[in-house]
Amino acid sequence: MKNLSNRMLKKIAAAGGFVLAGASSSFAAVDLTGFVVDITQVEAVTAIIIVGLGVMWGIRKLIKTVNRS
């Protein structure tokens, strides 16, 4: 039992290392310093939010459809 838990801890630590390494490299590639959203036009902000929710819904449906076996 102890051997099993040691192996699981090593796998979890390795997975965590990969996630941190990937996250640090992705942060270097994203530059949002010049990104500005004009919130004076409520209609435009509402449209952006609705489109974003629609895209997330579509991606979720696509994943569910592809995962059926």
pLDDT tens for the chain, 69 residues: list them: 566 677 777 777 777 766 666 655 555 566 667 777 767 788 888 899 999 999 999 999 999 998 875
Residue that the structure tokens 């076996």 belong to: 69
| All structural domains of the chain with their residue ranges | 2-66
pLDDT of residue 69: 56
pTM, full prediction: 0.41
**C-alpha distances in Å from residue 49, one per residue of 23, 27, 35:** 26, 24, 16
pLDDT of residue 4: 61
pLDDT of residue 58: 95
pLDDT of residue 57: 96
